[in-house]
């Protein structure tokens, strides 16, 4: 990734000299390859960490004050570890680290004050998990600064999901924090969100690449609509009664849905959940077999299901995926993340990427009046300390 090379110098310029050493940590964003809106339904998902992410330069202080700055934002955040830490709208993005610090304290981690400078290459609110990256980065960095173990990445992911659910107030599943914590170079994570078992699937794209396409349309109302979709899935489970699977809606039988659920909207929600799980299973098989055209078709089918049955795409995501499917070299495309704006991914022949992006850009601009952004990235490692990167 194109890291800012002089973060440590920027840090000293901002905070001045100090007694402790400046340490630097990195957490990636994630792109979900397939398995959308099924992590909270007990499903299988296939996210990958990407090379875009957030970096933190940190230096311990000898008191209990935490000072947080971001290179990209003027907002400065201060947290006093000796006072109760509560959510505060004025704190903006600082609520993610604040919630994590509170949870670490509750878990008995012996935190000291620190000065922190964040810098990011991850577009905010674009569906690439900038919030999970900020949470996991904070948890990992502060555990490391406290000389507490950082090797239990699954526990870090769960702690951060708890913060998102209880402190931030978004009822998200476990996928994003897991991918950010446990990502691996050139691999996607095949994660069973019920058992939390996972293994790595090599993403061997050969002469192809995954292109991330940002609609430049922020995820409007994403949080409230997200919580509404979760409630709809719970409603289906209640209607299924004794036929409801104990391990999540993905395991429901479609014939049971047909016999217990008459509401057409709830039926469509269930159809997406059940069919998306099948697509993830197929995707892991075709990827292992190197059948990229089949993988591309599954991506496109996933998008159609999210558009027609789950209704989480909207004008901008549909326009960019539509443009991608008409563009040269594209084997398949879909929205990624929560939806309602944000990013989509496309599987594209490498040699055709310049023509592909030019074609998507002009079609998307004509359809929406917005300038999209494209990121060339690949599957990357999860959160880690960056040594010797300045
Ligand atoms: C958001 C949530 C995840 C997941 C996706 C949809 O990114 O944080 O837990 O539910 O939406 O797949």
Q: What is the CATH number of the domain that holds 168?
A: 3.30.230.10
- Domain limits for position 233: 208-377
Q: What is the CATH number of the domain that holds 245?
A: 3.30.70.890
Q: Flag whether 366 is in a domain.
A: yes
**88 given a catalytic annotation:** no
Which residue lies with its CA nearest to atom 11 of ligand 1?
338
Distance from the CA of 206 to the center of ligand 1, in angstroms? Answer: 28
Which residue lies with its CA nearest to atom 2 of ligand 1?
172
Distance from the CA of 225 to the center of ligand 1, in angstroms? Answer: 12
Ligand 1 pocket, 372 CB below 6 A? Answer: no
Q: Which atom of ligand 1 is nearest to the CA of 32?
A: 12
Same domain, 194 and 216: no
Ligand 1 pocket, 172 CB below 6 A? Answer: yes
Same domain, 19 and 39: yes
Distance from the CA of 291 to the center of ligand 1, in angstroms? Answer: 27
Same domain, 37 and 165: yes
Same domain, 212 and 200: no
Same domain, 270 and 339: yes
Which residue lies with its CA nearest to atom 1 of ligand 1?
338
Q: Flag whether 223 is in a domain.
A: yes
Q: Flag whether 161 is in a domain.
A: yes
Same domain, 196 and 230: no
Q: Flag whether 78 is in a domain.
A: yes
What does the pLDDT read at residue 171? Answer: 87
Same domain, 271 and 359: yes
Ligand 1 pocket, 39 CB below 6 A? Answer: yes
The pTM score is: 0.94
The full 3-state SS of the chain, as one line of letters, equals: CCCCCCHHHHHHHHHCCCCCCCEEEEEEEEEEEECCCCHHHCCEEEEEEEEEEEEEEEEECCCCEEEEEECCEEEEEEEECCCCCCCCHHHHHHHHHHHHHHHHHHCCCCCCCEEEEEEECCCCCCCCCHHHHHHHHHHHHHHHHCCCCCCCHHHHHHHHHHHHHHHHCCCCCCHHHHHHHHCECCEEEEEECCCCCEEEEECCCCCEEEEEEECCCCCCCHHHHHHHHHHHHHHHHHHHHHHCCCCCHHHCCHHHHHHHCCCHHHHHHHHHHHHHHHHHHHHHHHHHCCCHHHHHHHHHHHHHHHHHCCCCCCHHHHHHHHHHHHCCCEEEEEECCCCCCCEEEEEEEHHHHHHHHHHHHHHHHHHHCCCCEEEECCCCCCCEECCCCC
Same domain, 218 and 200: no
pLDDT in tens, the chain (390 residues): 334 556 878 899 999 998 899 999 999 999 999 999 999 999 999 999 999 999 999 999 999 999 999 998 878 999 999 999 999 999 999 999 999 999 999 999 999 999 999 999 998 888 899 999 999 999 999 999 999 999 999 999 999 999 999 999 888 999 999 999 999 999 999 999 999 999 999 998 889 999 999 999 987 656 778 889 999 999 999 999 999 999 999 999 999 999 999 999 999 999 999 999 999 999 999 999 999 999 999 999 999 999 999 999 999 999 999 999 999 999 999 999 999 999 999 999 999 999 999 999 999 999 999 999 999 888 999 999 998 554
Joined tokens for residue 306 = 């999210």
Ligand 1 pocket, 40 CB below 6 A? Answer: yes
**Which residue in the list 39, 115, 176, 256 is annotated as catalytic?**
176
Q: Flag whether 390 is in a domain.
A: no
Same domain, 227 and 186: no
Joined tokens for residue 136 = 């996991």
Same domain, 161 and 215: no
Same domain, 323 and 218: yes
Distance from the CA of 163 to the center of ligand 1, in angstroms? Answer: 15
Same domain, 70 and 197: yes
Q: How many domains does the chain have?
A: 2
Q: Which atom of ligand 1 is nearest to the CA of 164?
A: 8
Q: Flag whether 267 is in a domain.
A: yes
Ligand 1 pocket, 337 CB below 6 A? Answer: yes
Distance from the CA of 172 to the center of ligand 1, in angstroms? Answer: 6
Ligand 1 pocket, 173 CB below 6 A? Answer: yes
Distance from the CA of 274 to the center of ligand 1, in angstroms? Answer: 16
């Amino acid at each position: 990734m194109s890291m800012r090379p002089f973060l440590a110098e920027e840090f000293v310029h901002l905070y001045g000299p100090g007694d402790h050493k400046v340490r630097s940590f990195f957490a990636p964003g994630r792109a979900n390859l397939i398995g959308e809106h099924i992590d909270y339904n007990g499903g299988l998902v296939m996210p990958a960490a990407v090379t875009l992410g957030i970096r933190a330069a940190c230096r311990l202080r000898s008191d209990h004050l935490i000072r947080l700055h971001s290179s990209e934002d003027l907002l400065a955040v201060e947290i006093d570890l000796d006072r109760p830490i509560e959510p505060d709208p004025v704190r903006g993005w600082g609520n993610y680290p604040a919630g994590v610090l509170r949870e670490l304290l509750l878990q008995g981690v012996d935190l000291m004050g620190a000065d922190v400078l964040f810098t990011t290459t991850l577009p905010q609110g674009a569906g690439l998990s900038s919030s999970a990256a900020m949470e996991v980065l904070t948890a990992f960095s502060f555990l490391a600064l406290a000389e507490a173990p950082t090797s239990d990445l699954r526990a870090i992911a769960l702690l951060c999901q708890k913060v998102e659910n209880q402190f931030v107030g978004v009822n998200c599943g476990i996928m994003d924090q897991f991918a950010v914590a446990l990502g691996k170079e050139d691999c996607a994570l095949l994660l069973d969100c019920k058992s939390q078992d996972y293994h790595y699937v090599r993403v061997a794209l050969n002469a192809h690449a995954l292109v991330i396409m940002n609609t430049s349309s922020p995820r409007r109302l994403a949080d409230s609509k997200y919580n509404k979709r979760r409630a709809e899935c719970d409603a289906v489970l209640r209607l299924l009664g004794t036929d409801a699977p104990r391990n999540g809606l993905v395991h429901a039988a479609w014939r049971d849905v047909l016999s217990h659920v008459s509401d057409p909207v709830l039926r469509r929600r269930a159809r997406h959940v059940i069919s998306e799980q099948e697509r993830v299973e197929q995707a892991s098989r075709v990827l292992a077999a190197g059948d990229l055209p089949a993988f591309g078709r599954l991506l496109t089918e996933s998008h159609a299901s999210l558009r027609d049955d789950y209704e989480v795409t909207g004008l901008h995501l549909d326009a960019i995926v539509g443009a991608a499917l008409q563009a040269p070299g594209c084997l398949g495309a879909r929205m990624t993340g929560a939806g309602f704006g944000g990013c989509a991914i496309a599987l594209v022949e490498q040699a055709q990427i310049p023509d592909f992006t030019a074609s998507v850009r002009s079609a998307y601009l004509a359809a929406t009046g917005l300038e999209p952004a494209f990121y060339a990235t690949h599957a990357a490692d999860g959160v880690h300390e960056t040594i010797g990167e300045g």
